[in-house]
Copies of this chain bind each other. A is one copy, B any other.
Amino acid sequence: MRVAEPTVERLVQYYRLLEQLREEGRLVVSSHQMGEMLGIKASQVRKDLSYFGEIGKRGVGYHVDRLYGHISRILASPQIWRIGLVGVGHLGYALLGHSAFRSDKFRIDALFDVDPAKVGQEISGVPCFHLNDLPEVVRERDIQVLILTVPASAAQACVDKAVESQVVKGILSFASTALVAPEGMLVYRVDISVELEKLLFFLKGGAGV
């Protein structure tokens, strides 16, 4: 089953919401309520979920527990991904400590930086290596995914190190710059200010031409 990227994004959002609802002890939820809480149309919620084989009961909705289990299996990982985090500045620290980065799907296994005060240390229980040693360290530790929290000017050099390693398959970059990677290496960018731009656009009335 091939799934489009925006669908996966919504699926992750449903999953997070259902996790929260479960913790609150909720038993059922309607597509309308899910849509309200996530800013997604109820019809889209129904469409997405029916695509994955879940049909809500009219006037009742979805069983929180069952739907959670279902989506959880779709998103489940066959392995625990080992992740290297490159750039231990404020953003790097923020991710290390962020609740959303505690997961049974992945584990931040190594840090990389160029700061002599950080290299060789353990930070939040994770060893920090020099960026130059990245290819060797990721090979030794079976790290296939990198998160880049480096300045834009340093991001491409990190990608190049990842390419050199020949084992990194995917990169998530928080740097606000376009990156060049060989085919077969997945590079996703998170632009943490895009949502702010969107918010301001809609606050001004959504029309500018």
Contacts and interface: CB of A to CB of B under 8 A. Distances in A.
A121 interface: no
Contact of A193 (B90, B98, B170, B209): B98
A189 B194 CA distance: 11
Interface residues of A, number: 74
Contact of A101 (B1, B5, B12, B193): B193
A202 B187 CA distance: 11
A198 B8 contact: yes
B75 A207 contact: no
Interface of A: 1-3, 5-6, 8-9, 12-13, 16-17, 20, 37-39, 52-53, 73-79, 81, 89-91, 93-95, 97-101, 103, 105-106, 144-145, 147, 149, 151-152, 169-170, 172, 176-178, 186-204, 206-209
A209 B74 contact: yes
Copies of this chain assembled into the complex: 2
Nearest to A70: B209
A13 B176 contact: no
The 3 closest A-B pairs by CB, nearest first: A100-B193, A91-B94, A90-B94
A124 to B, nearest CB: 11
Contacts of A53: 209
A9 B197 CA distance: 8
27 contacts: A1-B207, A1-B209, A5-B198, A8-B197, A8-B198, A12-B198, A13-B191, A20-B177, A39-B187, A39-B189, A52-B209, A73-B208, A74-B208, A75-B197, A79-B204, A81-B203, A89-B97, A90-B97, A98-B192, A100-B191, A100-B192, A100-B193, A103-B193, A105-B200, A186-B202, A190-B195, A192-B192
Contact of A203 (B20, B151, B186, B204): B186
